[in-house]
Amino acid sequence: MRQRIFGLIVKELLALFRDKRSRFVVIGPPLIQLIIFGYAATFDVNRVAYAVYDEENSGTSRELLARFEGSRAFRCLGYIHSNGEIAKVIDRKKVLLVIHIGRNFSRNLFASPPARIQVIVDGRNSNTAGILLGYVNQIVEDFNASWLPLHGIKPPAGVLRPRAWYNPNLESRWFIVPGLLATLTLVVSIVTVGLSVAREREIGTLDQLLVTPMRPWEIVLGKVIPGFLVAMGEVTLIFLAAIFWFRIPFVGNLLALYVGLAFFSLAVIGVGLIISSISMTQQQALLGSFFFLSPAIVLSGFSTPLRNMPEVVQWVTLLNPLRFALVVVRRVFLEGAGFAEVWPQYIPMALIASISLLAAWGVFRRRVG
């Protein structure tokens, strides 16, 4: 019996890896995606183009503007000379920001502060706009804090000194790349396992399998184990790339990470097998995988925080194994967590894994019976 399952595992792995194209599809895209998305998926706001409309053009206004030029977040694209041009450059997305300094800026600054500067922001991407405004306020705040003592005036009572734990420079790459480790593992496992049974059904080899002395649960196991091996191989590959290519700090317990991702991939394989056994054709299996995959990624906290979702949606996410895997990956990578901190995340993933694998076995047995 053990030999039978072993034979099935070898057959599955051969089916995946012997064909050059399918071998490439399993190994290539996850790595390519990791590299591309690791660089692309950033919330950091860098080198944002802005234009200046300086009606006064005095020493003081230039002093303030120099602070914008010195900031890494901004990149001056040029000067404009009329109100009408503001709409032109913003509507056409030439710049995201226009800094408008009025004609009486210095006079107001010295005679009747506060002197106002106007900042016009393109709000089409509200996240970028919010962060940009934060940067603008920070720069003006700094200008104020240094201007006041120079002119012998007592500054406001306090000044904000923020600092960040775990990710001191607030690089979103440190947040996204470990997330991709779990997300890409999900994509690969769901696609390889999710299509496997449906494909065998469509080309007729499932019937051949069923006339062998193998029991349904043996066949299911013969699908689960190769999928698991492929997923763990994928995890290792992506993990190494995250550490050595992206130089994401890894300060936690490696074993705690692997145990978590093992539970995760079993849960995903279970879901994939259910989809695959329910589907009559590969097209249906693909659709089913997609129907699971895209909400699973969106409602996981991968890109937008779970806390921002309505409460009902937050309950729904409790069914999503990716949600728990992301917590494990990020806490172990960045916060230095070990088993003591992440074990509560294992339980729901283990539950999802056992329920879905049992259900897959049930569906499969009924389908073939």
Q: Which of residues 74-133 bind other proteins (CB under 8 A)?
A: 90-93, 96, 109, 113-131, 133
Q: What is the number of alpha carbons within 13 Å of residue 357 lying toward its C-beta? A: 24
Which residues 172-191 are close enough to bind other proteins by CB under 8 A? 172, 174-175, 187, 191
Residue 19 backbone dihedrals phi, psi, to 5 degrees: -75, 125
75/67 Cα distance (integer angstroms): 11
Within 13 Å and on the Cβ side, how many CA atoms surround 327? 19
Residue 224 amino acid letter = V
- DSSP state letters, 317-341: GGG-HHHHHHHHHHHHHHH---HHH
Q: Which is nearer to other proteins, 310 or 369 (CB)?
A: 310
Candidates 332, 334, 349, 353; binder of other proteins (CB under 8 A) is 334
7-26 positions binding other proteins, by CB under 8 A: 21-22, 25
Least distance to other proteins, CB of residue 12, Å: 13
- Minimum CB separation of residue 304 from other proteins in Å reads 5
DSSP label of 319:
G
Using the rule CB under 8 A, which residue among 2, 59, 70, 165 binds other proteins? 165
- 45 near other proteins (CB under 8 A): yes
Site for other proteins in 198-257 (CB under 8 A): 199, 202
Q: Closest CB to other proteins among 76 and 297?
A: 297
Binding mask 135-164 for other proteins (x = CB under 8 A): -xxx-xx-xxx-xx----xxxxxxxxxxxx
CA trace torsion 240, 241, 242, 244 (10° rounding) = 80
Q: Binding segment for other proteins among 77-85, 234-242, 257-265, 330-338 (CB under 8 A)?
A: 330-338
Dihedral angle over CA of 255, 229, 182, 174, nearest 10: 60
Site stretch for other proteins (CB under 8 A), options 33-41, 226-234, 264-272, 352-360: 33-41
Nearest to 55 by CA among 120, 109, 111, 104: 104
Q: Least distance in Å: CB of 144 to other proteins? A: 5
Among 294, 318, 319, 366, which residue interacts with other proteins (rule: CB under 8 A)?
A: 294
Comparison of 5 and 243: residue with beta carbon closer to other proteins = 243
The structure tokens listed for 176 are 């996204």
Angle between helices 321-335 and 254-278 (to 10 degrees): 160
